[in-house]
Amino acid sequence: MLVSCAIARVAADPARVPAAGRPGGLRSLEYYRLHGSPRMYFSEYAPESLSDLAQTIRKSCAGEVWCVFDNTGSGAAAANALELQQLLRTAGYGANRTGCF
């Protein structure tokens, strides 16, 4: 139904069910909203988790990918976002991006 209505579904962490941790619906947009895990809004993401996310984003066929960190209670969001951005830049993500890698 989401695809037929041109709606993308967020991939959330923590996910209440496994499918909620993956983007769904319209495939031209992927949106990740990361709240911190195991403690919502407070836990920072480990480098390994961010590396895995960067790899997932690099492999994406979506024309547009958004990632929002909402683990702001402890101030971890900005550092996690900057680390993910650096991982993507180091891998050349975004340079002359034309779809699937």
pLDDT tens-digit series, residues 37-53: 999 999 999 999 999 99
Question: What's the number of CA atoms in the CB half-sphere (13 Å) around residue 50?
Answer: 20
**Any domain includes 96:** no
Range of the domain at 76: 14-90
The answer on pLDDT for 101 being more than 50 is: no
Say yes or no to pLDDT of 8 above 50: yes
More confident residue, 85 or 94: 85
- Whether 2 maps to a domain, the answer reads no
Per the rule left: phi > 0, alpha: psi between -120 and 50, beta: everything else, 22 is beta
pTM of the entire predicted model: 0.87
Residue 83 covered by a domain: yes
